Amino acid sequence: MKLQKLYHLITLGSVLALTTVGCRHPAYVTPIGYGRPGTATIPTDGGPITNPNPTFVSAPPTDAGRPTRSPQPPSNQDINPGTPVKTGVGTGDSTLTSAPQLPTGIAPVDPTTLDHYIPNTEILRLDTIYFDYDKSAVKASEESKLNEVAAYWKANPTNGIRVEGNCDERGTDEYNRSLGDRRAMAAREYLVGLGVDPKMILTVSYGKDKPADTGHDEAAYAKNRRDEFVVLVPPSKP
């Protein structure tokens, strides 16, 4: 009888032990993050289980979160690098306060070689070329006019040509005089490239002293940023 009671007690204890194990709930389940979780660590202070080796610590960034780069404004300078520094917001056809060096290229001709020639401002008046703000590079839209000037000279090679560089009213006298020089020299070099004798081309800069339009708006400024071409006719023999 005692053995039978002992057997029942052992059986009852085994059942109770199995029931208790089957009802146990986990304290915390490590959530699935971005990437493969590492080995979970159960803290001793009652806090949550942590994942010490996640592949990502946060969600991958979206396109909206990527930094954007603002485009840099284009430079207004059309000069040799390293010459004057801009002093602030544009103050004229130039935004510089000191005159840069002229571009290297074809040397200017001695003006005394054509100083006794007679100027004619009408022959090439319609071939005036225009420039962008603070620029001395010949625009593609103006090249056909220079082609006409070169064609005229080839038909009249005893005549000279004076290229007159001009600027709008904005900027200092000194800088605009230099800018006008660069504009006149740019046209001269272009003409020489087309076959015009460099000894027959004079250049002069009037800066902002001879505006074609005396207005004070962009429409007037655009007309004043220009090169004009004056034909120099040799004096007739007595």
Contact 223, 213 (CB under 8 A): yes
3 state DSSP class of 227 = strand
Q: Considering only CA atoms, which of 145, 143, 134 is closest in space to residue 100?
A: 134
Model confidence at 107, pLDDT cuts 50, 70, 90, reads: low
Output the pTM of the full model: 0.58
3-state helix, strand, coil in the chain (%, to 5): 30, 10, 55
Residues in Cβ contact with 157 at an 8 Å cutoff, skipping those fewer than 6 apart: 197, 200
Q: Is the pLDDT of residue 173 over 90?
A: yes
Task: Give the domains, in start order, of the chain with CATH numbers.
Answer: 111-233 (3.30.1330.60)
Contact 110, 203 (CB under 8 A): no
3 state DSSP class of 153 = helix
3 state DSSP class of 233 = strand
Model confidence at 37, pLDDT cuts 50, 70, 90, reads: very low
Question: What is the rounded distance in angstroms from the CA atom of residue 142 to the CA atom of residue 191?
Answer: 12
Question: What is the rounded distance in angstroms from the CA atom of residue 94 to the CA atom of residue 180?
Answer: 11
Question: Mean pLDDT, to the nearest integer, of 152-167?
Answer: 97
Q: Is the pLDDT of residue 174 over 70?
A: yes
Q: Considering only CA atoms, which of 196, 195, 166, 170 is closest in space to residue 182?
A: 166
Q: What is the pLDDT of residues 21-32, one digit of tens each?
A: 444 444 333 333
Does 153 or 81 have the greater pLDDT score? 153
Does 98 or 3 have the greater pLDDT score? 3
Look over the chain and give the mean of its residue pLDDT values, rounded to a whole number: 72
Residue positions counted in the chain:
238
- SS3 annotation, 157-211: CCCEEEEEEECCCCCCHHHHHHHHHHHHHHHHHHHHHCCCCHHHEEEEEEECCCC
- For residue 233, which phi and psi values (nearest 5 degrees)? -100, 130
3 state DSSP class of 154 = helix
Q: Considering only CA atoms, which of 184, 205, 165, 172 is closest in space to residue 103?
A: 184
Does 178 or 5 have the greater pLDDT score? 178
Strand partners, 163: 203, 229
